[in-house]
Structure 1
């Protein structure tokens, strides 16, 4: 370890701080330069300044193979337009979407579909917002959805984008490919060859994709055994087989079909048992030139291709329900009714998990007034990002900020999840109290979020940089605080 004499070299420390804070901007510049010099291997499949129109359909058939002929599940059809205003930069439009559901089975055991009751609303919602996305090489895909895009609709569009990511001519780039299940090892087979490979098949074991087990249920962060979803998910065998057809002269994709098969192993034997089969089809209708060259996005709104958990929370909600449950739980204190207390506490935690951030934030002061002890217990058992945010909000109301609160904030910073909201909450807590535990908690959160953001210029990171610069504005006032800030900045970047 090197040690620096703090007071005699204040000018040098200011220069050192300037260099550290500027690393954020330099990383962004490096990313921009790398983007300009990288080769986009998908450019031959989707040429710039063109629009490709596909007919898209997907259906899911769920049932018990070998026990009954009944299959249920939705079917979706859409007209998909893919604009390419710049090289490997795309704008996806989904039009004329129709949502259907199984009504019966015909004599041949095939499902008969009828329009779903929500089909018209679904069509309007799918057509409302285009989806912009970029592709670098084959494995790096960034989505830029509109701010009001619903999570469930974005997941549907993710599935379409995944099907559009056709294998490229350079075979070595097809061994790892990006899908809605993450980056997957892929087996690549050429079935027909002319000037180029015109018929290509892909096969994947989806359980090997890096985000296949990424969708988790909310659970208590205090549980002794964590991530129980992973061993349960491994009881499902999932494979995917795709076939792509290409135009020999223009090299673009003319047709594609992908079939995913998910088999629940405990209730399956050989080819019989509980299964779900998802099929996607794309057929090229036309391609034409376009004049648009515009592709403007806000980088901090970027998202990944792999499926994200849909929020599933009521659009209109209040905190009155959890407050009533808290009051009922408080009344049982000291008068027995242990079994009822357990049920009410479970109801309280479940109610907290269903609240949006703004609803929980406004209800929190009333909850703390009703019973601070029960509120803290419930928040620490909740495990959602909203509950963690509320816990940090509650920390800032504790007079004197005892060491227990420092330990709580530090513990929250060690969780694997870090998003822009968590950075804002940690920054607000650090502004409230600059203890060593909280400052390092801010550093760990920023570091994790910064790495996932790939160096993009994000407002929350700029706010953290401004805060640290303010602390170091005059190092001679509080040398120990300044030296702590320098170490914290070193941890961040």
Structure 2
């Protein structure tokens, strides 16, 4: 289940092409954008006590043909923040290498991106980041001129409402009503229940994007996403996550020579978020005893640090891989043992 890249050997990444020409990306040209996205989680009313992660990179869009484009990333930096402290995440070189290693071919139908063609060896987490970048680039209004349209992107399958404000195109999504949002492992992703009232949703999530064009090319795009955890959000308080993303055109130039790509690919997918299957991955903690050791380390930690936050997040995910018997064993070992009685 989920949005897994499907093998379709010998099928071109772009089998068809729209006959419209609302946008003006030129074949043989490269468009370089600066991309930044920052996720910040905090308790409302005390935003100085927050944590987050940010990604900065250069995005090259090569126009191989009218409807056949390719994305590559360069100069990637991934930073973590805790309160007012910002630093590069551990393993920076490995993360950068994974993100920049594989170009991503995609179908660009005059603003709409219905299909992507990832490399067979592309890591899922890296592909999801590229899906997020392309989601900012997508525009379903310009070609259709419909104010409300169903879109598929990293957020799910959602109704998007478009509004033209002068030279700007504004897109709004009520993410509470999106489908196909239940595939993420993290706690903030949710899925709307059929016929459920808005007050029954655990998360109150909204997205607004603004795109500006020059000469039929996206010159600037900014997206602001807000996720509020409803159960603890009375009187303007509670847990909140904000995501601010920008994509700014730096230059366009003729690409000479054009990058060589496989005209026929074996993997086809969409912009929908893809959950990692976990197959073939090593579990960090293979026994309740090892997880107990992680609990001990957390108990000894004083204050919030990057290391303690990373250890806690790893512990949460690794607990999911334990059997029922191992969890019971862990409960007996770790019960009431954060009081210097190890």
Give the TM-score normalised by the residue count of structure 2. Answer: 0.70
Partners of 1:89 and 1:295 within 8 A in 2: no
Q: Give the number of the structure whose residues are more often helix, by fraction.
A: 1
CA contact (8 A) 1:137 1:173 kept: no
> Is residue 82 from structure 1 mapped to residue 61 from structure 2 by the alignment?
yes
Q: Kindly provide the CA deviation profile for residues 413-449 of structure 1, in whole angstroms up to 9, marking residues without a partner as x.
A: xxxxxxxxxxxxxxxxxxxxxxxxxxxxxxxxxxxxx
1:296 paired to 2:262 = yes
Alignment-derived partner of residue 115 in structure 1: 88
Match of 2:153 in 1: 179
Indicate the residue corresponding to 2:51 in structure 1: 72
Deviates more, 1:264-273 or 1:77-86: 264-273
Confirm or deny that 1:265 pairs with 2:230: yes
Shift of 1:117: 1.9
Match of 2:180 in 1: 211
1:243 aligns with 2:217: no
Secondary structure of 2:176's aligned partner? helix
> In the alignment, what sits opposite 1:57?
36
Matching residue of 1:100: 79
Provide the secondary structure at the position in 1 that maps to 2:146: helix
Change (3 A) 1:298 1:267: farther
Cα RMSD of the aligned pairs, angstroms, is 3.5
Which fold has the larger relative contact order, with Cα–Cα distance below 8 Å and residues 6 or more apart in sequence? Answer: 2
How many Å separate the matches in 2 of 1:265 and 1:103? 24
Gaps in structure 1 of 5+ consecutive residues: 1-27, 106-111, 193-197, 218-227, 322-343, 351-493
Q: How far does residue 103 in structure 1 lie from its aligned partner after superposition?
A: 4.1
Higher strand share: 2
User: Deviations for 1:228-248, whole angstroms, at most 9, x for unmatched residues?
Assistant: 97659931111001111111x
Q: Which residue matches 1:150?
A: 123
2:324 equivalent to 1:346:
yes
Aligned length in residues:
275
C-alpha separation in 2, matches of 1:68 and 1:168: 35
Q: 1:216 to 1:297 in 2, by over 3 A?
A: farther
Q: Distance in 2 between matches of 1:61 and 1:345?
A: 33
Where does 1:378-397 land on structure 2 (aligned, <5 Å)?
none
Structure 1 position 46, deviation (Å) = 2.6
Which residue matches 2:5?
Answer: none
Counterpart of 2:201 (choices 209, 212, 234) is 234
For 2:191 and 2:225, the matched residues in 1 are separated by 21
Residue 332 of structure 1 corresponds to none
Q: Which residue of 1 aligns with 2:331?
A: none
1 CA distance for matches of 2:102 and 2:221?
24
